[in-house]
Structure 1
Amino acid sequence: MLTFEEKLNIIESFPQLVRKDVSLNRVNFHFPESQFEKKIVVYHLHPNGNGFVYAAGLPGYEVDNKGLVNIREFSAPALILLLEDAIKSLSTVETVETLEETWVNDNQFELTLLNEDLDTWLVYAGDLLDGAFNSYKEAANYLEEEGFRRK
């Protein structure tokens, strides 16, 4: 098990992280450049060697309900890899390719279903916006209820 000082040295070697001292001699490290609301990468690193790193969504780590993994027993290489992975995951926003589908009704009138970002689905009648939805399923249900089917 690494000591508090060894863990601190490893974490402080990441220039992207900003140290924030908190209560009971614990230390947090923030990642101000995070592309998400989540900014704390290292949470409550304690002089007894206990501490947590945010690893939600990272494969191979057992996380708690807050997305944190306990680093008490981590080796130096394992801690470095975890920090690299955590910073990388908070640095990039997943993008989706623009999805465009044409839907048609029995009268051969066409509507376009377009996804321009992760959580907005738009229905267009030509250049006019007909509706905006939070999911593909919601948009597709609307189109089907209006008598349209995928072309």
Structure 2
Amino acid sequence: MLTYNEKIAIIESFTELQRKDVSLGRHNYHFEESVIDKKLVVYHLHPNGNGFVYAELINDDYVIDNKGMVNIRDFSEQEIRKVIKQSIESLSEQEPFEETWVNSENQTLKVINDFDSWNVYAGEMLDGSYATYNGAADYLQQEGFRRI
């Protein structure tokens, strides 16, 4: 596991991030150039090595919590660099987020990020609205859909 100081050095090598000190010796890092309301990239980096990176908009196999964060406690330098880069890119995208899901009967639904809501559409009809991407994805998986 990387030390706290090693993680700080990696994170601070991303000059587009701004450090914000929070309670208990923890630090957050914000991406002020974000094209959406979300600006937090690194959340609660703690001297014990624990910390989180915003990964909700990343199309990768990260295990994320209900806030869209992935724990980087045991990440290598390369893994931390990769997830931070992906997080910044996901907050920089000008195009609206849209993802297609399909079930075994070849029916398709779309997940679209609309003004901080994650909406599921069947054609032009709204099927459901969720506060997080995970909420929408969980619903689709429970209904037998998979990402394509």
Please report the TM-score for the alignment, with normalisation by the length of structure 2.
0.65
Q: How far apart, CA to CA, are the structure 2 residues paired with 1:52 and 1:38?
A: 15
Q: C-alpha deviations, 1:79-129, integer Å up to 9, x for none?
A: 000010000000013249xxxxxxxxxxxxxxxxxxxxx86xxxxxxxxxx
How far apart, CA to CA, are the structure 1 residues paired with 2:85 and 2:55? 11
Per-residue deviation, 1:60: 1.5
Q: 1:76/1:93 Cα in 2 relative to 1: closer, same or farther (>3 Å)? A: same
Partner of 1:67: 68
Report the residue type matching 1:82 in the other structure: V
Is 1:51 the counterpart of 2:51? The answer is yes
CA contact (8 A) 2:19 2:29 kept: yes
Q: Deviation at 1:4?
A: 0.5
- Name the aligned partner's letter for residue 93 of structure 1: Q
Measured in 2, the distance between the counterparts of 1:51 and 1:95 equals 28
Q: Which runs of 5+ in 1 are unaligned?
A: 97-117, 120-134, 139-151
Q: Distance in 1 between matches of 2:40 and 2:79?
A: 19
Compute the TM-score of the two structures, normalised by the length of structure 1.
Answer: 0.63
Equivalent position amino acid for 2:71 in 1: N
CA RMSD in angstroms comes to 1.8
Q: Structure 1 residue 34 and structure 2 residue 34: aligned?
A: yes
Write the distance in 2 (CA, Å) between the matches of 1:12 and 1:95: 28
Pairwise CA distance, 1:74: 0.2
Number of the residue aligned with 1:149: none
- Structure 2: gaps spanning 5 or more residues: 98-112, 115-122, 127-148
Residue of 137, 141, 146 corresponding to 2:125 = 137
Total equivalences in the alignment? 102
AA partner of residue 14 (structure 2):
F
| Partner secondary structure for residue 29 of structure 1 | strand
Residue 91 of structure 1 aligns with an amino acid whose one-letter code is: S
Identity score, percent: 56
Deviation at 1:57, TM superposition (A): 2.7
